[in-house]
Chain A
Amino acid sequence: MRRFSKLRVRQKVAGSTFVVIALITAVSWISIQLIVFPNLTQQIVNRGLTIAESIAARAQRYLTANDMPNLLDAIFTEKWMNPNLLYIFVLDASHRVVAHTFLSDFPVALIQDNVLAPGQGRQTKLIETSMGSVYDTALGLYEGIHPIATVRVGLSKRLTDQVIQPLVQIVLGLLTLVITIAVFLTNWFSRQITDPITQLSNLAGEVSRGNFGESSNLRALVKCWKRERWKLSACPAYERGDPPCWLQDNVPGQGGEPNRLEGRPLKCVDCKVYQTETGDEIAQLGNGFCHMLFKLDRYQRELRQSNEDLRKLNRSYMDMLSFITHELKTPIANSTMSAHSVLQRIFGPLTPMQERMVGLICQNLDRSMTMIKNYLDLSRIEKDELGFTPLMLRLGPEVVEPVLAELSTMAAAHGMEVESTVGDDVTLEADSELLRVVYRNLVGNGCKYGRPGGRIRLRAVDAGDRYRFEIWNDGQGVAHEKMDRLFQKFTRIPEAQKGASKGTGLGLFICRTIVNRHGGKIWAEGQEGEWISFIFELPKSQGRSTVS
């Protein structure tokens, strides 16, 4: 049964039909054997008796008159009138053959094959003779109670075969014809069912792959109903490339009335084709599928338009953000330089209070500067303007060391000890400026969120066609379940920022975007309260011609 359920519909239909026909064949065969054959046998037996009885009266008369020639004439005439009669012979009271129809020596053994008991009137036996199987009928002739003769009639069993054989051949012939027709019909009916379903299935597959909106597919689908069920060629709306009129909502019918009544299409406005309840269930399924696809097509187009609108809106926001941050960057940079000059007493000594205040100004200006850089980066990312120029570079001297030098002041401020094992031998094809952004963000995070006085370790591991880079620091770390959120835009983990200045929540998002742009991936590992490590992998080559 499980195997049957796995079969295709056509195979099931054909198999079921064959089983039914096989059953009919078996029933026919059994009927022939149980009804026709016994009936024929009985008819032969009756025929033998009839012949014997037709001879009996004459035989009795001729025997009484001792007229053997006429007795012989009678039995021969009877034999010639019945082509399937093998023999007739007449025995006298002492079982002596007095007349027979054999043209050779009389087979004496035949006499004993079917002997009537004393007083018995008639008896038919199936006996085996040199002539084959014979239904031998014996009819006793009596004068009073005294037997005077026995008439024996032999009919070939072949008679039944001669009737049965053509019957069986006719039955088998008819069944063969029925099977042939049934095979063709079931095949045709199955195809009527399965072909549209297969087409629907194929199209559903395309829809599942997001390919449902292609008008060519819709056309192909609709055309599959066209021949028998849809009169699309008559519909100008369809010819224009639009869905057929009767699938369109809000299309007024004649007289300005809606073209639908309780959801059922009434009439195509343009082609006047009446399209209600046409076709069978398969056609209706196809209609429904068509309708669904046309609707999906429309929804997709609407969705696409909506996305486009949103993208435009986002872009204008980003333009504005970029503009604002860019405009803020120069004055804040100047202010930072000035504040740091004051703090470094270039313009004269400061009172302790002044020094403290100027220190706070510097700190806030640095933070603002970082935020501006991040927002600028975000703007470039969102506008898809993040420049990506991969070149072969040595990571240590060209990326890591400049960043460490740049952040040395910050590290020192936090008492962080930075250890780097990234050597000169780590070479890969990447955009050095972007990687510096990544290192700046990750090392800067280590300085900001690491344990004051702790350590930051940088290292690179060769992983075949890729490099794995790790930036480890001890400190608070992040709970394991929150690590996925670290790389989302504007995400701030309060525990991680405990005691540290607030960030923009963009740094790790920018890192992930840059790493992804390089074809790599980034993630975080760590132990909450003890350490955290940011790991990213980059391919050694970008898979295109290298510009050195």
Chain B
Amino acid sequence: MKRWLYPLLLLILVGCSDGAPGEKPGTGRSSRVDAPEILVGSSLALTGHASFLGTQTLHGALSYVGAVNEAGGVHGRNIRVIAYDDGYDPPRCLENTQRLIAVDRVFALFCYVGTPTSVKIMPLVQEARIPLVGLFTGAQILRNPFQRYIINIRASYHQETGAVVRELVESLNIKKIAVFYQYDDYGFDGLTGTQIALKRYGIEPVATGHYRRGSLEIEDALSHISRSGAEAVIMIGTYEPCAAFIRLARSEHFNPIFHCVSFVGPEELAKRLGAAGDGVIITQVVPPPSAILLLPAAEEYSRLLERFYPEDKPNYVGFEGFLNAKILVEGLRRAGPIPDREKFIDAIETIQNFSLGIGNPVSFGPHDHQGLEKVYFTQIHAGELTLVMNLKRGKGR
């Protein structure tokens, strides 16, 4: 019986077994680059309330890409950046990204701006297995769990809020800290980061208030926070609502220490606040672009921006885009003359202690796609951003 029973069972099992799982259809993985130019795609806010962020990020990146192209490109190929405006709107970002992948057939995605927009396209990136390099967002969800195709360069919001909470609690002995946040993934991420940081000291936010993305309805949040008697307010938003919040708070004689994370658009915030901005702390993930004497990258950025976008002034946002472009180019260079997407990711992972010219080397690894870790503190004084080493000297009025 056994002699013929077991082959029969085996036959049945083999007959029932599925084939090896194939690639998901419709992903369009034409990743190999053998065209005369390397196409990279970007969807970012070029119009609307966050247009400064998108425009400056793009200008900073294009300044460096333009210089590289003028110098002969990478392995003889020029880099062309296709940028679509999404107005900081996730659905438009999704539409743009689909077009970039399916129609434009870009090699990689690059310089995305904003947490909700970036989070929206994450499944698309995973499905298409396309590299996404340099996101102007510090959202934790883009970092943890690890995702092979997402290359983060700047520090995360958790790192920014962690650093500022540490300074507020340890240096200034402030325990009553409130959080003002944008009601979306970006705001939630910053709020979570702040809560985690505060928990290390056994405290919780004394109050939280939020606003809807794209609106300036900050009154309720301000009312709630001001009633809490907060000594410091950590703000996870964009420059327009944050500026409105600070200005209204000042007008109501509510003057805690205001802190904004880097995504706020520091220069634009300072410009919009004017005198009301004095003392506002902004954490930065790149050093000041004005330090052209100290930082070669700052000098290069200022020089190239002057050349390609003379109407722009060097700023933190643009400088971040510039640094993103440097990593993109270095990755393409290391990926060889005929790169493909997998090779490109592998090449990025070989970057170790690479000097960007900002006095802070960048490193990646097979399970580490977080390039920079450092957080810088700046404070607005007379409409200008000043680098501060700690918050003792920069306490507000």
Contact = CB atoms under 8 A, between A and B. Distances in A.
A165 B28 CA distance: 29
Contacts of B90: 73
A12 to B, nearest CB: 13
B106 to A, nearest CB: 12
A73 B1 contact: no
Interface stretch (B33-41, B119-127, B335-343, B368-376): B119-127
B18 A158 contact: yes
B102 A165 contact: no
A94 B95 CA distance: 22
B9 interface: yes
Interface string A158-183: 10011011001100100010010001
Nearest to B12: A172
Interface string B1-37: 1000100010011001110000001111010000000
Given A69-B95, A72-B95, A105 B18 contact: no
Chain B contact residues: helix, strand, loop or mixed: helix
A169 B16 CA distance: 8
Contact of A161 (B18, B91, B120): B18
Contacts of B303: none
Given A87-B26, A169-B16, A172-B9, A73 B94 contact: yes
Nearest to A25: B12
A105 B26 CA distance: 8
Interface string A175-208: 0100100010000000000000000000000000
B128 interface: yes
Contacts of A164: 16
Given A72-B98, A176-B9, A131 B26 contact: yes
A73 B91 contact: yes
Contact of A72 (B5, B16, B94, B123): B94
Interface in A98-127: 101-106
B89 A69 contact: yes
Nearest to B89: A69
A176 B13 CA distance: 11
Interface in B84-100: 89-92, 94-95, 98
Interface residues of A, number: 33
A103 B91 contact: no
Nearest to B122: A80
A129 B27 CA distance: 15
A101 B101 CA distance: 11
B26 A101 contact: yes
A37 interface: no
Contacts, number: 73
Interface string A10-24: 000010001000000
B94 A86 contact: no
B9 A69 contact: no
A96 to B, nearest CB: 16
B102 A130 contact: no
A488 interface: no
Given A68-B95, A103-B124, A179 B5 contact: yes
Contacts of A183: 1
Nearest to B126: A80
A179 B98 CA distance: 54
A76 interface: yes
Contacts of B16: 164-165, 168-169, 172
Contact of A86 (B13, B25, B123): B25
Given A70-B91, A86-B25, A103 B127 contact: yes
Contacts of A86: 25-26
Nearest to A83: B24
Interface of A: 14, 18, 67-70, 72-73, 76, 80, 86-87, 101-106, 129-132, 158, 161-162, 164-165, 168-169, 172, 176, 179, 183
5 contacts: A14-B1, A76-B123, A102-B102, A103-B124, A176-B9
Interface of B: 1, 5, 9, 12-13, 16-18, 25-28, 30, 89-92, 94-95, 98, 101-102, 120, 123-124, 127-128
In order of increasing CB-CB distance, the 5 nearest A-B pairs are A104-B28, A131-B25, A69-B91, A73-B91, A102-B26
